[in-house]
Amino acid sequence: MTRPLVNTLLIALGLGCGACIPIPSTSLRSPQVEGRLVETNSAEPVPGAHVSLVELPNVQATSDPSGRFKLRATHNFHLLTTGGICGLVGWPPGQHYTFLNLTLVATNRGYDALRVPLLDCVSLEGANLSERRVLLRDVPLRPSRP
Protein backbone atom coordinates (compact mmCIF):
# COMPACT_ATOMS: atom_id res chain seq x y z
CA MET A 1 0.00 0.00 0.00
CA THR A 2 1.08 3.54 -0.61
CA ARG A 3 1.76 5.89 2.28
CA PRO A 4 -1.19 8.33 1.53
CA LEU A 5 -3.62 5.41 1.38
CA VAL A 6 -2.36 4.08 4.73
CA ASN A 7 -2.70 7.53 6.32
CA THR A 8 -6.24 7.89 4.98
CA LEU A 9 -7.21 4.47 6.32
CA LEU A 10 -5.74 5.26 9.77
CA ILE A 11 -7.63 8.56 9.95
CA ALA A 12 -10.90 6.89 8.92
CA LEU A 13 -10.35 4.11 11.47
CA GLY A 14 -9.58 6.66 14.20
CA LEU A 15 -12.71 8.68 13.48
CA GLY A 16 -14.86 5.56 13.37
CA CYS A 17 -13.55 4.26 16.68
CA GLY A 18 -13.99 7.40 18.74
CA ALA A 19 -11.36 9.93 17.80
CA CYS A 20 -11.70 13.45 19.15
CA ILE A 21 -12.78 16.04 16.60
CA PRO A 22 -11.78 19.48 17.90
CA ILE A 23 -14.90 21.22 16.59
CA PRO A 24 -17.18 23.17 18.95
CA SER A 25 -20.83 22.19 18.76
CA THR A 26 -24.16 22.72 20.49
CA SER A 27 -27.03 20.46 21.54
CA LEU A 28 -30.54 21.20 22.72
CA ARG A 29 -30.72 21.78 26.48
CA SER A 30 -34.41 22.70 26.77
CA PRO A 31 -37.20 23.13 24.24
CA GLN A 32 -38.99 26.34 23.28
CA VAL A 33 -42.23 26.55 25.28
CA GLU A 34 -45.24 28.45 23.95
CA GLY A 35 -48.57 28.99 25.67
CA ARG A 36 -51.31 31.36 26.73
CA LEU A 37 -52.36 32.42 30.23
CA VAL A 38 -56.09 32.83 30.86
CA GLU A 39 -58.19 33.74 33.88
CA THR A 40 -59.65 30.61 35.51
CA ASN A 41 -63.34 31.62 35.55
CA SER A 42 -63.72 33.81 32.47
CA ALA A 43 -61.02 32.38 30.15
CA GLU A 44 -60.01 36.00 29.43
CA PRO A 45 -56.31 36.48 28.57
CA VAL A 46 -53.93 37.48 31.36
CA PRO A 47 -51.46 40.07 30.00
CA GLY A 48 -48.27 41.19 31.77
CA ALA A 49 -47.68 37.97 33.71
CA HIS A 50 -44.12 36.87 34.47
CA VAL A 51 -43.50 33.33 33.17
CA SER A 52 -40.40 31.20 33.81
CA LEU A 53 -39.11 27.69 34.40
CA VAL A 54 -38.03 26.52 37.87
CA GLU A 55 -35.13 24.47 36.50
CA LEU A 56 -33.87 27.29 34.23
CA PRO A 57 -34.54 30.59 36.06
CA ASN A 58 -32.85 32.69 33.33
CA VAL A 59 -35.45 31.56 30.79
CA GLN A 60 -38.23 34.12 31.28
CA ALA A 61 -41.01 35.85 29.36
CA THR A 62 -43.90 38.25 29.90
CA SER A 63 -47.34 37.42 28.52
CA ASP A 64 -48.52 39.79 25.79
CA PRO A 65 -51.97 41.50 25.59
CA SER A 66 -53.50 38.24 24.31
CA GLY A 67 -51.97 36.29 27.23
CA ARG A 68 -49.45 34.54 24.97
CA PHE A 69 -45.86 33.87 26.00
CA LYS A 70 -42.82 32.18 24.48
CA LEU A 71 -39.91 30.81 26.51
CA ARG A 72 -36.84 30.45 24.32
CA ALA A 73 -35.05 27.16 23.76
CA THR A 74 -31.65 26.82 25.42
CA HIS A 75 -28.56 24.98 24.21
CA ASN A 76 -25.46 23.30 25.65
CA PHE A 77 -22.08 24.34 24.24
CA HIS A 78 -19.49 21.60 23.67
CA LEU A 79 -15.80 22.37 23.19
CA LEU A 80 -15.05 18.96 21.66
CA THR A 81 -17.09 16.38 19.82
CA THR A 82 -16.25 12.69 20.03
CA GLY A 83 -17.46 10.57 17.16
CA GLY A 84 -17.70 6.83 17.07
CA ILE A 85 -19.89 3.83 16.60
CA CYS A 86 -22.45 5.12 19.13
CA GLY A 87 -22.77 8.52 17.48
CA LEU A 88 -21.52 11.96 18.47
CA VAL A 89 -20.93 12.92 22.09
CA GLY A 90 -20.02 16.44 23.17
CA TRP A 91 -17.65 17.50 25.95
CA PRO A 92 -18.52 18.90 28.42
CA PRO A 93 -21.74 16.86 28.25
CA GLY A 94 -24.23 19.52 29.44
CA GLN A 95 -27.80 18.94 30.64
CA HIS A 96 -30.96 17.92 28.83
CA TYR A 97 -34.53 18.86 29.78
CA THR A 98 -37.79 17.85 28.14
CA PHE A 99 -41.38 18.82 28.92
CA LEU A 100 -41.39 15.72 31.15
CA ASN A 101 -39.04 17.29 33.70
CA LEU A 102 -39.67 21.05 33.57
CA THR A 103 -41.88 23.14 35.87
CA LEU A 104 -43.73 26.28 34.72
CA VAL A 105 -44.08 29.27 37.05
CA ALA A 106 -46.44 32.19 36.33
CA THR A 107 -47.06 35.23 38.54
CA ASN A 108 -49.04 38.42 38.08
CA ARG A 109 -50.47 41.06 40.39
CA GLY A 110 -54.03 40.17 41.33
CA TYR A 111 -53.55 36.42 40.69
CA ASP A 112 -52.40 33.46 42.75
CA ALA A 113 -48.92 32.28 41.81
CA LEU A 114 -48.92 29.19 39.61
CA ARG A 115 -46.34 26.41 39.75
CA VAL A 116 -47.17 23.38 37.61
CA PRO A 117 -45.27 20.60 35.78
CA LEU A 118 -45.19 21.28 32.03
CA LEU A 119 -46.45 17.76 31.46
CA ASP A 120 -49.79 18.81 33.01
CA CYS A 121 -50.13 21.68 30.50
CA VAL A 122 -49.03 20.13 27.20
CA SER A 123 -51.67 20.11 24.47
CA LEU A 124 -52.28 16.90 22.55
CA GLU A 125 -50.58 18.29 19.45
CA GLY A 126 -47.93 20.08 21.53
CA ALA A 127 -45.76 17.09 22.40
CA ASN A 128 -43.84 16.47 19.20
CA LEU A 129 -41.06 13.92 18.88
CA SER A 130 -38.34 16.46 18.10
CA GLU A 131 -38.87 18.11 21.51
CA ARG A 132 -37.54 21.39 20.10
CA ARG A 133 -40.86 23.17 20.59
CA VAL A 134 -43.59 22.45 23.13
CA LEU A 135 -47.08 23.92 22.75
CA LEU A 136 -49.22 24.26 25.87
CA ARG A 137 -52.99 24.38 26.12
CA ASP A 138 -54.45 27.47 27.83
CA VAL A 139 -52.90 27.74 31.29
CA PRO A 140 -55.40 29.05 33.89
CA LEU A 141 -54.47 31.65 36.53
CA ARG A 142 -56.79 32.04 39.50
CA PRO A 143 -57.61 35.61 40.62
CA SER A 144 -56.47 36.37 44.17
CA ARG A 145 -59.12 36.79 46.82
CA PRO A 146 -59.26 40.28 48.34
**pLDDT tens-digit profile of 121-132?**
887 665 555 567
Full-model pTM: 0.74
Question: Would you list the domain boundaries of the chain?
Answer: 3-141
> Which fold does the domain 3-141 belong to in CATH?
Immunoglobulin-like (2.60.40)
Q: What is the pLDDT of residues 19-62, one digit of tens each?
A: 555 677 777 778 899 999 999 999 999 999 999 999 988 999 99
Burial class (CB in 10 A: 0-12, 13-18, 19+), 139: buried
